[in-house]
A and B are shown apart, each in its own frame.
Chain A
């Protein structure tokens, strides 16, 4: 593995290298702001009919916390109780992923147009 690879790896797994490395804090803030604006604009267009499925869908999306949970649970040098916290967090997030997407789809399947109504 080249030297460059090792240093880029340190960015995602800083704990393996004992420190947080060069964190791009301002970059993260930019991402946050832009994502919020995209979110606001996309959500404003969501049909009011679908507000309940929207909430269960975003619920599943916010279970993206599973990413952080995996990183914590898989940490090699972590004490057992930290690993346990990560594992419980994986359990919680997976519950939301599975139930969130399934129930959203179950609800959306029920929304039907009137028969013979123009497409």
Chain B
């Protein structure tokens, strides 16, 4: 077998293992096998590439080894972050992925340009390079911005930033980048080509920042998914540049995953892609505040514990507030205490609760709550009319009945968890301000709703303690 065929064979096996890796993710029982096959595939891919490079005469091996070592040294601590920081970490790795693709694209372009290689800079190769660079660099800065917003870094605005003509400016820059790309396709070896190429890089970097500026926290699950898809597509473009089918396949798997997650997130918010990216959702609605002053009905933890102790079914609705307060372990204590008293406890998981797809599931799994009790929105909504108590922990928009009834509400049409159908509603809330999206929540003013103000971790811990002490009998 020629060395080249051996490389291709290794790539072929790696491709199969990557597909199996995703296939095994269909069930929590087999999911860890998916990680192992992914690791095996990656090892084969790297080994195959190194073998190919060695047989065709490569160089810089010590430097490459050093880059591997430093990458592993940075990657290891990034895998040890607390699970509440997983959205930031994910955004950060999208940034790394985008940067890697962009740099490889730029490297290839300058290499061919320096060689004055008209054949290598055939139109479709230049198109692929341009797409790779555009997607790669915009994913890089866009993901950095998203990570910064999620980490709540001071100089990155948390609230959506909008200004007049925003979309005109964004589209203008994008059109300019496309025009420059087209010029490069036609004249890849022109004297001005390197300058035009660098300008495309700069425009892509700027475009990434501008794309994320108007996006608020509630939209993060969708945006992270879209960036995930972009990172995959930039790897696909790289595959076209290098004529490498492994890159194309693995990139396409990543791209389709990002696409499906984005679609699920968009459906869960009843919004379209363009609306998320260009709609600048989430500005506070000052106008709505003019109505009659409504009053919350606060209640004590003691009486809440009493009501819950006598319940048959308690549905807990977690939201981003639970993650912020790191309350998941206290929630587990509450879960244990209620179970001990024979109460059935279920968790209602909205697809966009938290800051990335599946965020709540991971936090609750970390607190060792069995995943059988984590129930999807569509499934749990049938049970809510039978629930004695719905306990809302740091969730807001996902339980706002205005989404069903109020046509003027910005979240109208979004599928919600029907917490308002439970017999009694308890809502734990940090402050009396409206939620992230700044939308008033009718649920809090219902006759059956009682508010427990305070930090979620403290309040839930106190609830669990009350139940444990039996004071609620």
Binding site for B on A (CB under 8 A): 4-5, 8-9, 11-16, 18-20, 23-25, 27-28, 31-32, 35-36, 38-40, 42-79, 81-83, 85-115, 117
Contacts and interface: CB of A to CB of B under 8 A. Distances in A.
A105 B111 CA distance: 38
Given A25-B124, A36-B255, A59-B231, A5 B2 contact: yes
A78 B111 contact: yes
Nearest to A65: B100
B365 interface: yes
Interface residues of B, number: 127
A117 B372 contact: yes
Contacts of B21: 57, 61
Contact of A87 (B67, B115, B225): B67
Contact of B256 (A39, A48, A64): A39
A64 B251 contact: yes
Contacts of A66: 42, 45-46, 49, 100
Contacts of A99: 74-76, 78-79, 89, 93
Contact of A13 (B32, B50, B56, B372): B56
Given A82-B110, A101-B38, A68 B104 contact: yes
Nearest to A114: B370
B358 A50 contact: yes
A49 to B, nearest CB: 5
A32 B75 contact: no
Given A5-B4, A45-B26, A67 B254 contact: no
A46 B246 CA distance: 22
Given A39-B255, A95-B75, A58 B228 contact: yes
B120 A14 contact: yes
Given A62-B235, A92-B99, A94-B68, A52 B257 contact: no
Per DSSP, chain A at the interface is helix
A65 B76 CA distance: 19
A35 B11 CA distance: 14
Contacts of B106: 85
Interface in B251-294: 251-261, 264
A49 B256 contact: no
Contacts of B39: 101
B346 to A, nearest CB: 12
Contact of A12 (B4, B38, B42, B368): B4
B370 A117 contact: yes
B3 interface: yes
Interface in B216-265: 224-225, 228, 231-232, 234-236, 238-261, 264
B165 interface: no
B35 interface: yes
B46 A67 contact: yes
A70 B54 CA distance: 11
A46 B31 CA distance: 9
A117 to B, nearest CB: 6
B100 A69 contact: yes
Nearest to B259: A40
9 contacts: A13-B56, A16-B57, A42-B26, A45-B23, A54-B25, A56-B89, A61-B21, A89-B100, A107-B362
B49 A48 contact: no
A61 B254 contact: yes
Contact of A36 (B32, B57, B99, B256): B256
A85 B104 CA distance: 7
A52 B358 contact: yes
A109 B36 CA distance: 13
B350 to A, nearest CB: 11
Nearest 9 A/B pairs, CB to CB: A94-B71, A98-B75, A51-B358, A39-B256, A74-B58, A102-B79, A114-B370, A35-B252, A51-B357
Contacts of B18: 61, 64
A93 B64 CA distance: 12
Interface string B134-149: 0000000000000000
